[in-house]
Amino acid sequence: MADGRLALVHGDQLAEFTPLDPKGARALHCDLCHYTRSRSEAALYRVHVAARRTRYVTLCLGSAACVTRAGERGLLKLAERIFPIEPIGPDER
């Protein structure tokens, strides 16, 4: 997505990853490929999993290489942490 947002589709559900402003200067640990990345190589994302519940996920910025490193199993593990998402009503966001 052009604005830096990412989306992950699982079955008929879609998780939207909203990038957050990174705070501090510590290294990030990618939740997908489990590499330790510097601030410039990864980003922290917020995912809405229910009306008032969010999960935080760190992902590499080079997502194609990250997905290659993680493999199908890594992707599945990440999906298990996020899904299922509870449906969010239009006035609950």
Binding residues for Zn ion (CB under 5 A): 30, 32-33, 60, 66
Q: What does the alpha-carbon distance between residue 56 and residue 46 come to, in Å, rounded to a whole number?
A: 5
Least Å distance, CB 3 to Zn ion, is: 20
Closer residue to Zn ion (CB): 57 or 66: 66
Least Å distance, CB 93 to Zn ion, is: 28
DSSP 71: H
Q: What does the alpha-carbon distance between residue 40 and residue 87 come to, in Å, rounded to a whole number?
A: 33
Least Å distance, CB 17 to Zn ion, is: 13
Single-letter amino acid, residue 45: Y
